[in-house]
Structure 1
């Protein structure tokens, strides 16, 4: 099957799908739940946050406070279970500890029909994020198995598979090797993000079980913006929950992130404030129906 024809969620009538967003909450610097909640809400979803950590500011700042919420998650999910909450999708991102993988696996067991979107937020530029440990990265590999959509950047693909990291200039054959490894680990569909080849283009690739590799090309802007990975995964998830094909969802997310980066560049303190997407949310809402 072609990714252009693959629809993973069929939106029906006026029904509002419920999405658990398992991610951290950051007080300043737009990322994680600060992105997932408004973007998925704009996509007509009922967002149910599961906060994995609380941050005063994101980790690009030299000073930040982090509170790991691992100890509360069992009681948090117990309360959900007692209320009989039903979920249509489980979208996970940044985790505060290796033990939190178990909380996501619990959600999978209790909601076996929910779509599983895993953004393995682990690192960038060939390095793990400062709050991550080798143990947490190893546990993250358990979430690859059964992921309906897995969205690693090239650093995360390297950390998950153990394959060598060769930067962002990869050939299609090298991308296919990453995908084959991740599918072999149990992922159903893989979106490999951020391949660049010095031609002012950024390439994202989609492939999976019985899904041939397809390239989605966007414009590479000459600067970086914090939070774009979270925005890409959240927008992709929102588009999928609106009934768009996987290919169309990846293409929409690619362009949306580019447009948000342009707006961010016009803001004060743009290098650390996080990605500014708020004025573009109407584009996401337009996907509904």
Structure 2
């Protein structure tokens, strides 16, 4: 029977260097044994050294991608990544309201690993007011959580308060990624679930520049697990394990912030 196999959707921008964006999403979803589809919002000229240029696609073409998928496939979970600017965030939100694509994971991508802005400043409010309230899972890093909440985050208690503030904006399950904190030996993420439970996920911090696409990979893994019917806590925990294995077992690609090893978890690289 058609459409019995778990299907996922990433709504994001491309990465010509293959390490982040839609490319990382598709690789991760494939490794997690779901069929991955994509709505391309923007195209970047990008490598491990940075983002050289990008262009958002016309909204009409984005709308047609959504309609095409809805007409034929059965998407069981979806995620967003790079959405470029306020108009495109709004357009994506309108499509997410129109179609039933399962639980939504929002990765509020704002800045690339090399420092390039991937979301216009005037779009942060649109993400906060229109997209975040739709999120079944929200996966900001520390700078993104600060922009969305307006709060400075420097301590563990700050992360916990920020997670509550993000739930107050409408997101259900929150994972604030601690990869940007200055702790030398560990990376700790704070998780606040919709039912009020909370916990920390901690992994060793590896001395490596091969971390390009970590946020995309985490959110994609969570999306894949949700499409297979996992509960939110299990999906988040597996996402953390998957990313940790991908960082701990690096591959040598590029001269800058290299990509993750998306094969590592399934090849016994799990820590």
Q: TM above 0.5, one fold?
A: yes
Given the alignment, which residue of 107, 120, 126 partners 1:133?
120
Partner of 1:218: 203
Instruction: Output the TM-score relative to the length of structure 1.
Output: 0.80
Paired position in structure 2 for 1:77: 66
Measured on the aligned residues, the alpha-carbon RMSD in Å equals: 2.9
Question: Which structure has the higher relative contact order (CA within 8 Å, separation 6+)?
Answer: 1
Distance 1:62 1:117, change over 3 A: closer
Are 1:253 and 2:239 counterparts? yes
The one of 132, 151, 163 aligned to 1:144: 132
| Range moving further from structure 2, 20-29 or 183-192 | 20-29
**Which runs of 5 or more structure 2 residues have no equivalent in the other structure?**
none
Instruction: Indicate if the aligned counterparts of 1:53 and 1:96 stay in contact, CA closer than 8 A.
Output: yes
Structure 1 counterpart of 2:173: 189
Task: Please give the residue correspondences for 1:134-283 in structure 2 after superposition, counting only pairs within 5 Å.
Answer: 134-141=121-128, 142-166=130-154, 170-171=155-156, 173-194=157-178, 196=181, 198=183, 200-224=185-209, 225-264=211-250, 266-269=251-254, 271-281=256-266
Matches within 5 A, 1:25-174: 25-58=14-47, 61=49, 64-71=52-59, 72-80=61-69, 83=71, 85-112=73-100, 114-123=102-111, 129-141=116-128, 142-166=130-154, 170-171=155-156, 173-174=157-158
**Deviation at 1:279?**
4.9
Q: How many residues align?
A: 264
Query: Are 1:25 and 1:51, in contact at CA under 8 Å, matched by a contact in 2?
Result: yes
Distance 2:267 2:208 in 1: 25
Please state how far the C-alpha of 1:61 moved relative to its aligned partner.
Answer: 2.8
* CA shift digits 1:146-193 (9 cap, x unpaired): 311001111111111111243xxx22x322210111111101111111
Q: Structure 1 stretches of 5 or more lacking a match?
A: 1-13, 285-289
After superposition, the Cα gap between the structure-2 partners of 1:162 and 1:191, relative to the gap in structure 1 and judged at 3 Å, is same
Query: How far does residue 78 in structure 1 lie from its aligned partner after superposition?
Result: 4.1
Q: Provide Cα deviations, 1:16-72, integer angstroms capped at 9, x if missing partner.
A: 2222210111111411111111221232322220011112214x5356232211342
Which string of whole-angstrom CA distances, capped at 9 and with x for unpartnered residues, describes residues 224-258 of structure 1?
A: 42111111111222223333333333332223222
| Cα distance, 1:42–1:283 mapped onto 2, change above 3 Å | farther
Q: Secondary structure at the match of 2:242?
A: helix
Q: CA deviation at 1:197?
A: 6.1
Distance 1:198 1:97, change over 3 A: closer
Change (3 A) 1:249 1:152: same
Cα offset for 1:87?
2.6
Distance 1:63 1:43 in 2: 28
